[in-house]
Amino acid sequence: MSFQEEITFIYGVEYGQVMKDNFKYDLGLVNGKVYINGSFVAVDIYIKDQVISEIVPQGTELPCENIVSCISKLIMPGFIDPHVHINLDLGEFRSADDYESASKAAAFGGITTFIDFLDPIINVDEFENRFAQKMKEAKDSYIDYSFHTTVGNFDDDVDKLVAISRANGIPSIKMFTTYSESNRKISKEKLQEFMKNSSKTSTLILVHAENDYMILNAEVDDTLEQYERSRPAEAEILEIEKLVRIVKDIPGKLYIVHVTCGSSINLIKEECKELIGKNIFIESCPQYFHLTKDLFEQDNGNLFLLAPPLRSADEQQKLKENISSIQTIGTDHCPFTKEEKMRYKVASKIPKGLGSLEYSFSLMYHLFGEEIIDKFTINPAKIHNLYPKKGVIQKDSDADFVIFSPDKTLMIDSGHSRTDYSPYEDMLINGLIESTVRRGEFIVKNRKLVAKTNGQFIER
Ligand SMILES: [Zn+2]
């Protein structure tokens, strides 16, 4: 008797049938509309061992442990926030969210991966310590995470730092063109060295672009009313002009974080439209699309303070007109409590930063609809080396999903972050994120937290 005949004899069924009955997918998401290649299609998704195992026509019933029906819902890839600050230490203040609370808020906002920043370093030797510190903090995360290496006034071997950073799964280095007063401003020579390295290694060079000289020499009072003029739109536009010149000369990969002004993007388009999406990547944040600098003049203006500042309605309008030239939306999430924000009247003493993680996608979807999806999924995944593990619904990718009801609405409140307010409070938003799945496990299910902190460091 052959092996197969023996099996058939024992079980009374065909060998193949026995194998099939024993095999079960872990999770099936059926009857929803699934975002694949830029549009929504009617397919079912089956998940096994944390990854997408099968995508099949609707109605194909596969053996599965847990089937979830998603009728009248949209299923998108889990969102990626490439710019968050968690546990940021500012001396007198520390940002309100640790990994537990930030990742919970993120999960309610459909974000399944975020990228935080290591604290700035001046020498290569400091890297190990900064990396170990963040890895320790991030153990409490509900969602997957990665980091960007950050340099201050870096004074060491650029190639060596990039090599060590990449060896630890971090192919991105963040730097500042301002904050010389706290020794965080990168020199022009070092910035060029990083760009040169980037042109060879494709390492992403993230730049906070504001002109240091203009900020240091701004003739304004240290008040909320004049805060925007202390770091004006022109400071961003001028610095971006300088960066564009560097990239035209040295074609590395420049990623400009938190662009606040439509004029900055118009300038890049005039100078080198063809480099956008190839050598120049533009990130903006929901706050610059929804809030304007007039808010600083309200009695509670402190609550809206951040750096770079909110801009005029005119700049905001230009930013909206340029949405198609923006590749990614990051939040720059860095909330503080009301009491902390309101403690001082002098602008320079107020902790700068807002919380947006939980409402980032909703705020942008409300303004732009489906056009915004790629900026939260495939674009950040590709630009930040997470693709095709993240950012896309296809076979073998991580089973990260957002289950979304486009017909429901959401009223914004302080949410799940550890701060006690939201700058968008009481806004009524179209669309509701119902559930979030991270590597095949529901973190949020029907607006309830149902998972344990099980996030992983993702090597990029
Ligand atoms: Zn930031």
Mean pLDDT taken over the chain:
95
297 and 185 within one domain: yes
The mean per-residue pLDDT over the stretch 9-18 comes to 44
Cα 400 to averaged position of ligand 1 atoms, centre (Å) = 25
Cα 194 to averaged position of ligand 1 atoms, centre (Å) = 19
328 and 199 within one domain: yes
Beta strands 401-411 and 328-329, pairing class: unpaired
Cα 9 to averaged position of ligand 1 atoms, centre (Å) = 66
38 and 154 within one domain: no
For the chain, percent of residues with pLDDT exceeding 70: 95
What's the CATH code of the domain at 163?
3.20.20.140
Tokens of 395: 């076979």
- Ordered alpha helix ranges (H), 124-226: 127-137, 158-167, 188-201, 212-216
**Cα(436)–Cα(454) distance, integer angstroms:** 14
Cα 394 to averaged position of ligand 1 atoms, centre (Å) = 31
**Cα(439)–Cα(48) distance, integer angstroms:** 9
Cα 448 to averaged position of ligand 1 atoms, centre (Å) = 29
- Ordered alpha helix ranges (H), 218-337: 227-230, 233-249, 262-272, 286-290, 313-321
197 and 65 within one domain: no
Cα 375 to averaged position of ligand 1 atoms, centre (Å) = 18
Cα 160 to averaged position of ligand 1 atoms, centre (Å) = 25
**Cα(369)–Cα(372) distance, integer angstroms:** 6
Instruction: Say how many C-beta atoms besides its own lie within 10 A of residue 9's C-beta.
Output: 9
61 and 83 within one domain: no
Domain end (from 368, 383, 398): 383
More confident residue, 15 or 294: 294
Cα 413 to averaged position of ligand 1 atoms, centre (Å) = 23
Checking if the pLDDT of 18 tops 50, the result is no
Cα 457 to averaged position of ligand 1 atoms, centre (Å) = 20
- Of 17-26, 106-115, 179-188, least confident by mean pLDDT is 17-26
Cα 426 to averaged position of ligand 1 atoms, centre (Å) = 25
The answer to whether position 428 is within a domain reads no
Residues flanking ion ligand 1, Cβ below 5 Å: 332
pLDDT at 155: 96
Cα 324 to averaged position of ligand 1 atoms, centre (Å) = 22
Best CA proximity match to 290, nearest among 360, 357, 377, 226:
360
User: What 3-state DSSP class applies to 374?
Assistant: helix
pLDDT at 21: 57
Report CA torsion sign: 19, 25, 28, 34. Answer: negative
Residues 6+ apart with CB under 8 A from 41: 33, 34
pLDDT at 7: 42
66 and 83 within one domain: no
pLDDT at 9: 44
Query: Residue 338: which pLDDT band, with cuts at 50, 70 and 90?
Result: very high
Domain end (from 383, 406, 441): 383
Residue with tokens 């890895």: 135
Cα 83 to averaged position of ligand 1 atoms, centre (Å) = 6
Q: Per residue in 44-81, pLDDT tens?
A: 999 999 999 999 999 999 999 999 999 999 999 999 99
The mean per-residue pLDDT over the stretch 364-374 comes to 97
CB 177 within 8 A of CB 209: yes
DSSP symbol at 299? T
Checking if the pLDDT of 236 tops 80, the result is yes
What's the pTM?
A: 0.94
223 and 99 within one domain: yes
The mean per-residue pLDDT over the stretch 280-285 comes to 98
Domain span at residue 106? 79-383
pLDDT at 23: 85
Q: Per residue in 112-162, pLDDT tens?
A: 999 999 999 999 999 999 999 999 999 999 999 999 999 999 999 999 999
Cα 30 to averaged position of ligand 1 atoms, centre (Å) = 38
DSSP symbol at 347? G
97 and 56 within one domain: no
The answer to whether position 429 is within a domain reads no
pLDDT at 22: 74
The answer to whether position 401 is within a domain reads no
pLDDT at 12: 40
Instruction: Say how many C-beta atoms besides its own lie within 10 A of residue 188's C-beta.
Output: 11
